[in-house]
Structure 1
Amino acid sequence: MDLHTVTEVISPAAPGQWRPGDAWMGGGTALFGEPRPHLNRLLDLTAAGWPPLTVTGEHVEIAATCTIAELAGRLGRHGIVLQCCHAFLASFKIWNVATVGGNLCAALPAGPMISLSVALGATCVLIGPDGAERLVPAADFVTGEGTTVLRDGEFLRAIRIESTALSARTAYRRGSLHRHGRSAVLLIGRAEPAGGLSLTVTAATRRPYVLRFPAPPSPADVEAALDTIPAGQYVDDVHGRPVWRRHLTRRYASQIRAELAA
């Protein structure tokens, strides 16, 4: 979709250049997906030259401008990464343009990079208009459908994932009304070192929910934890009704608990 009100593109862009009416731009697949008449300028982050991935002894840092194709190519050996990349159900064209950071900032319930980041306990690195850095847990980054914790002029610089999280045992379940439809329910379970479990619920709900169990949970424990998700938080749209999403969430949660307990 053309953004007819945009009169200038700043490339490359830096934090101090932001002003009201600007939008930070990564791959642009979400940015150009709907009308945005309030925008006058686009600030191009893809020209910043950030390396897609930076690996240290403690963590992997994924640049917000890292494309889905780059992520799959570099970290696809980790099953959960490749599963979330394929959850896009997108063509190779999208894979080579859409960015990890753009998927998080769009804050759509079905965003698979949100699911991946939250499930692996990632940290979002945010940069303000004055260049100051702010760290936010990925689980807190998305606050609702299309809303995040980003402040005016702030942009997502990177996603940091601890190396130990990438090597953890995980279980993945995804549901949709159609074989090639948008995710209506996406759950990821991660085995914790002490025998516990973290269960991440996305796509079915307006924002991510992480349910943590310090010890191996019983079926009743999982049911009780799922009951803490307010009924009004389940998404209601053409991709699935809340009652169906809630039912599938519980079914998948039960399967994940059993799989990781085996």
Structure 2
Amino acid sequence: MDLTTISEVIRRPSSRPGAEWREGDAWLAGGTWLFSVEQPGLRRLIDLTGLRWDPLVPSDTGLEIGATCTIRDLHALTPPDHWIAGGLFAKSCEAFLSSFKVWNAATVGGNICMSLPAGPMITLTVALEARYELWATDGSVRTVDALDFVTGDHRNILAPGEILRRVHIPASALTKRTAHRRFTLTHLGRSTVFLIGTQTPGTSDLLLTVTAGTTRPVRIAFETMPDARSLGESIDALPDGVWFADPNGTPDHRHHLTRHFAEEIRRELMAGGPV
């Protein structure tokens, strides 16, 4: 879609582009959402791809994902063998309601900052206990838990002009066993619920991440594996207002599916099933 209100595009922003921000600006990365709907309040685009941030930087401390890393690049990542949670990268990329053409442009940071309930990069990074590095317009930097970033449907903690610079997934999360469940109304449809459970090797703990069915990500932690009743009660105890409603499912439907799939995840991790 043509954005008819745009009068300027900054193709080569400074290495710390926050100081250039003014009202009516938008950060441009993949642009797959930005160019899909009218943007009457925008006057200028600042193209972050010109900064050429490293897309993926693996190290002994974990994985750093640049905000402008494309979904294609993340899907193509071959994680080290000891990152047994690495299979979640491809699974989460494949949860996008999009074509391979969109994968070539859409970015990890863009999906996170859109902050939609079904954003699979949110699911992935919350489940793997990531932290986000945010740059403010005054040059300051803050780091936040991925769980705390999204606050509701299409809402997050970013201040005006603040930008997501990078995502860091710790090595401790990448070495966990995992189980996941996702439900859609159609084969290639938007997620109605998307759950990921992780377990530390050599322990019986459980970290359950619930997304898509809720307006914001929910993380439920157990030091030891709960029984079915305790797990169900922890899901029932979530606030009524957290359950999402749209054409893909009612809050009651999503609550029911979350309970059902959480129990499947519990049993799979207890049985030592596929990671």
Q: Partner residue of 1:129?
A: 137
Query: 1:90-129 maps to which residues of 2 (within 5 A)?
Result: 90-129=98-137
User: Matched residue of 2:191: which SS?
Assistant: coil
Q: Partner residue of 1:82?
A: 90
Q: Partner residue of 2:207?
A: 198
**Counterpart-to-counterpart distance in 2, 1:236 and 1:149:** 22
Kindly provide the CA deviation profile for residues 69-98 of structure 1, in whole angstroms up to 9, marking residues without a partner as x.
101112467211111010014221111110
Contact 1:75 1:81 in 2 (8 A): no
**Counterpart-to-counterpart distance in 2, 1:49 and 1:20:** 25
Higher alpha-carbon deviation: 208-217 or 235-244: 235-244
Q: Partner residue of 1:10?
A: 10
User: Matched residue of 2:111: which SS?
Assistant: helix
Structure 1 residue 192 displacement after superposition:
2.7
Q: Partner residue of 1:181?
A: 189
Matched, 1:56 2:81: no
| Aligned-partner residue type, residue 18 of structure 1 | W
| Stretches of structure 2 lacking an aligned partner (at least 5 in a row) | 81-85
Contact 1:174 1:186 in 2 (8 A): yes
Q: Partner residue of 1:214?
A: 223
Structure 1 residue 33 displacement after superposition:
2.6
| Aligned-partner residue type, residue 130 of structure 1 | D
| Aligned-partner residue type, residue 249 of structure 2 | G
**Counterpart-to-counterpart distance in 1, 2:270 and 2:188:** 30
| Aligned-partner residue type, residue 121 of structure 2 | M
Q: Partner residue of 1:151?
A: 159
Matched, 1:32 2:41: no
| Stretches of structure 1 lacking an aligned partner (at least 5 in a row) | none
Structure 1 residue 239 displacement after superposition:
1.2
| Aligned-partner residue type, residue 168 of structure 1 | K
Q: Partner residue of 1:162?
A: 170
1:245 to 230, 244, 254: 254
User: Matched residue of 2:5: which SS?
Assistant: coil
Structure 1 residue 8 displacement after superposition:
0.8
Structure 1 residue 164 displacement after superposition:
2.3
**Counterpart-to-counterpart distance in 1, 2:7 and 2:177:** 48
| Aligned-partner residue type, residue 77 of structure 2 | R
Contact 1:76 1:82 in 2 (8 A): no
Higher alpha-carbon deviation: 61-70 or 77-86: 77-86
Following TM superposition, the consecutive aligned residue runs of length 4 or more in structure 1 with deviations greater than 6 angstroms are: none
**Counterpart-to-counterpart distance in 1, 2:173 and 2:135:** 24
**Counterpart-to-counterpart distance in 2, 1:207 and 1:75:** 29
Q: Partner residue of 1:41?
A: 44
**Counterpart-to-counterpart distance in 1, 2:27 and 2:237:** 35
Contact 1:30 1:103 in 2 (8 A): no
Contact 1:23 1:42 in 2 (8 A): yes
| Aligned-partner residue type, residue 136 of structure 1 | V
Structure 1 residue 68 displacement after superposition:
0.5
Equivalenced residue count is: 262
Contact 2:209 2:220 in 1 (8 A): yes
| Aligned-partner residue type, residue 206 of structure 1 | T
TM-score (norm 1): 0.96
Structure 1 residue 56 displacement after superposition:
2.1
**Counterpart-to-counterpart distance in 1, 2:21 and 2:152:** 24
**Identity, % of aligned pairs?**
48
| Aligned-partner residue type, residue 4 of structure 1 | T
Higher alpha-carbon deviation: 63-72 or 10-19: 10-19
TM-score (norm 2): 0.92
Kindly provide the CA deviation profile for residues 195-214 of structure 1, in whole angstroms up to 9, marking residues without a partner as x.
21000000001000000001
